[in-house]
Structure formats: structure tokens, C-alpha cells
Structure 1
Amino acid sequence: MQSFVLARWRHPEFRRGAREMLGITLGISAWGLVTGVAMVKSGLSAGLALLMSLIVFAGSSQLAALPLIASGAPLWVLWATAFCVNLRFVIFSAQWRLYIGHLPLWQRLRFGYFAADLNYVAFMRRFPAPEQEREQQLPYYWGGVCLNWAAWQIPSVAGIFLADRVPTEWGLGFAGVLALLGLTYSLLSDRKSWISAGVAACAAVAAYALPLRLNIVVAIAAAVAVGLLMDHRLPDASRSNKEAA
């Protein structure tokens, strides 16, 4: 990986990708620190927490799974929750396929491991069409994801090893919520995403009494259903408006 990065870091698009991710790394780092502390506070050993951070590399599903692990939830609930939380990546991958479908499998697997929400947003903003500047796409991607990975893993590892020294009274849970809200806000780019987020919030509150934090699963299912419904309905409406104009 190191030689791969060194071969690309001199490319202007590599630096541009890192530069455009720089503004949001503070929120990512705060989120990573909170997750590192939370993993140990939830009962995981430092070794298991480190393994989870490096292998899973998915903050939202990690935070969703931790209270379930602490409460002794069945394994199927853990899997279902993590699957639902990361379901958005199935949608992302359908779009990524247009850009990297021609690459060998091992390269696509490596690409998929480092892919994250905000990298997807930045990349699609930079390259809205798959055929646009193809030789620039991968350097830009790796510049962004390398910075994103480091901004997550370094604070997460620090949180793991410093968890025993971090008092609970510091309110890191609230800090994590703020970090998540900041990252979520950056993803709300149009009316569809705002409506889906609102439906998810209402569903999570309405189903709060469900055991094993299943209100999270309900919220995600509701948001996905509303998003799919709008994808089928709103394009037709916008097309009708254009024809009427």
C-alpha cells in the first residue's frame, strides 16, 4: 500500500483529493476518537477494539453494534443492524461500478475497503460523468481516501489506548452525536436526502421503545423505502414540469 501511495502522491489530483477532504477531517477525527473510546468502554479488549477498527472501518455500524454487544444481543441482531446501517454502500457501489468496473478484482476490493460516504460525495462532485478525465479519477480518489483513513484510524487507535484515562463525565457520547450530525449534514445535498433523513429521525423516535436498539433498523428501513419511492416518483414529476415549461 505504501509503495502504491508513493507512486501516486505526486499527481496533482492526488493532492487535490486530499485537499478537498481536509475541511471535514476534524469531524471525522472526533468521530473516530469517540468510537475508539466507546469500543473499550463497551467491554471490548484493546486488541479486539483495534482489530475491529482496522478491519471493519465503518464508524456508523461500529457505533450501532457496540450497545448491542454490551447488552449481549444475539448475533443475528448484530448482523442485521450492521447490514442495514451499511445498506447505503450497495447503492454507492452501483455508481462506483461505472468508474471502476474495468479494474481487476483485487483492485476493486482494495478500492471498496477504503471507500467512505464523504469520499463518494467528493468524488461524484469532481467527476459527475464516468468518462470524464478517467486518468485523473484514481489519483483523486486515493488522495481523498488516504487522508480520510488516517483521520479516522489515528484518533480511533488513540481513543482505544486512552479509553481508561478518559472520564465518563467528559460527555464523549454527546461529542460523538455532534460529529455524526456534522457529517450527516454534509450529505444532505437535495430535497430527497432531507426528506429521507426526516423520515428516519421520526421513525427512530417512534420506535424508540423497541428492544436491542431495533429502532435503528426501523429508521433505516423507513428512510430507504421513502428514498426508493421518491426515486420512482420525483423524476416523473420533474420531467412533466420541464415538458409543461
Structure 2
Amino acid sequence: MNQPEHLRRQELLAGVRDTLPLLLGALPFGMIYGALAATSGLSFAAAVAMSALVFAGSSQFIAIGLIAAQTPVAIIVLTTLIVNLRHMLYSATLLPHLRHLPQRWRVPLAFWLTDETFAVTVHRFQKDDASPDKHWYQLGSSIAMYVNWQFWCFLGLLLGQRIPDAQSWGLDVAMPVTFIGMIIPFVKTMPIAVCVLVAGAASLLTLAIPYKLGIVLSALAGIVAGLSAQRLRASPPAGER
């Protein structure tokens, strides 16, 4: 094996390794998704296809609920689009590190981009080294998350009819805990802390807004608060102007 191939393999395996602690958070959600899909009216094949082609836990849950309620397709598409708008922020953050790649790389990396993969990948890209193969790290993380999610969703579908009232088990606590664990390492400055606290408070205040619009509003509130805190921090005191 030549040196470039060896380094790429190292990056790939490092991406898988660093994502392993986050894989457990997908277990309850994948299982519950499978259980709900089995009773929502979707066929087994359609539920598997949704998991494989959509690959977005929150959107899949929302879509399953709307399908069960016989919601028009246009509303389902719009709602899931709104929920996933946060991925535009992820993409904008990673683009400076990936813009040099050809489309055959950027398209699959965009499809496989999840919250967990973004969290570990952005740390890798921010490290000050000259490695030209950091995108292989993201690929490793993406593959680990994708295979993990498909496995638990498929298992949930197989056992769906045998899991009584899966939502009442309280397993959904794993996902918030996972997200908190991903966010904490980024809270290193006061503006970021303000951003996180405002977004968290806004998410609680907007919880009852339909179609999960509260997620978008909370993200915007956090961004505005963080930017405002950054500007106040950078501004000189009034007496020094």
C-alpha cells in the first residue's frame, strides 16, 4: 500500500472511530421509527426505502406521523424541508473545506451529512494540519452513521408489531443527551454560550408551534443572539471611541 492510500485509510478509520460513541443515540430512535412505521400504513418496503433514501431521523418521524394522519403529500414535503433547514448551516460551515472536491465526492457527502457527522467532522477540519485527505474522515463518519441507522430501523421494522406502545418507553431521552454531548465541546466563548442558551430557551417557548417551525425560529434566535454578543464583545468601550 502506497503512502497516500495509507493516509486515506487512516482518515477513514479515524472518522469511524470518533463516531462510535454517538452511534448508541440512534438505537432507540431507529427502533421506534421502525415500530411506528410498521403501524402507520406504510408497507415494509416503503419504510425501508424511506430510511435508506431520506436518512434523516427527525424528518422520518414527522413524515410517519403525517402519513398516519393522511396528510397531503405537499404538507409532508414542506414540513420535512423546514425541519432539515439546519443542514444548510452545516453545509455552509463545511463548504470552505470541501469546495475543492469534485461532484462525485460532494454529492454523497452532502446526502450522508448528519448532526453527528457534522459534530465530529468540523473538529477534524479545524485542526491545523496539512492533511489533504480530511474528507476521507467525513466519509468514514458518514458510513458509520448510515449503516448504524439502517440496522436499527430495519430491526425496528422486524420487531415493530411486538413492541407495545414504543413511544411510552422513554427511550427518546437518548437523542437529546447525544445532542448535548455534541454541543458542549463547541461552547468555548461567551458568544457561543449566549447562542446556545438563547436557542435552547427559544426551543422551549416555541414547542407548541405546528409543523416544527419552532426549530427554525429557535435556530435563528440563537444565531442573532450569538452574533449580537460577538459584536458587543468586539466593540470598544464608549469612553475609548
Shorter-normalised TM range: 0.7 to 0.9
Count of matched residue pairs? 227
1:126 aligned to which of 124, 127, 140: 124
Summarize the Cα distance change of 1:62–1:241 in structure 2 as closer, same or farther, 3 Å threshold: farther
Matches within 5 A, 1:43-54: 43-54=41-52
Q: CA deviation at 1:174?
A: 4.2
Distance 2:7 2:59 in 1: 30
Distance 1:173 1:48 in 2: 25
Match of 1:153 in 2: 150
For residues 156-184 of structure 1, give each alpha carbon's deviation from its aligned partner in whole angstroms, at most 9, with x where no partner exists.
1111122122222xx34544421222233
CA contact (8 A) 2:12 2:138 kept: yes
CA contact (8 A) 1:34 1:173 kept: no
Match of 1:36 in 2: 34
2:231 aligned to which of 232, 236, 240: 236
CA contact (8 A) 2:35 2:160 kept: yes
Q: CA RMSD in A?
A: 2.4
Summarize the Cα distance change of 1:174–1:88 in structure 2 as closer, same or farther, 3 Å threshold: farther
TM-score (norm 2): 0.84
The letter for the 2-side match of 1:150 is V
Q: CA deviation at 1:112?
A: 0.9
Question: Within the alignment, does 1:200 sit opposite 2:196 as a pair?
Answer: no
Which runs of no fewer than 5 residues in structure 1 stay unpaired? 1-6, 208-213
TM-score (norm 1): 0.83
CA contact (8 A) 2:79 2:211 kept: no
Deviating more after overlay: 158-167 vs 114-123: 158-167
Residue 126 of structure 2: SS of its match in structure 1?
coil
Which runs of no fewer than 5 residues in structure 2 stay unpaired? 188-192
Q: CA deviation at 1:193?
A: 2.3
Match of 1:216 in 2: 212
CA contact (8 A) 2:26 2:152 kept: no
Match of 2:181 in 1: 186
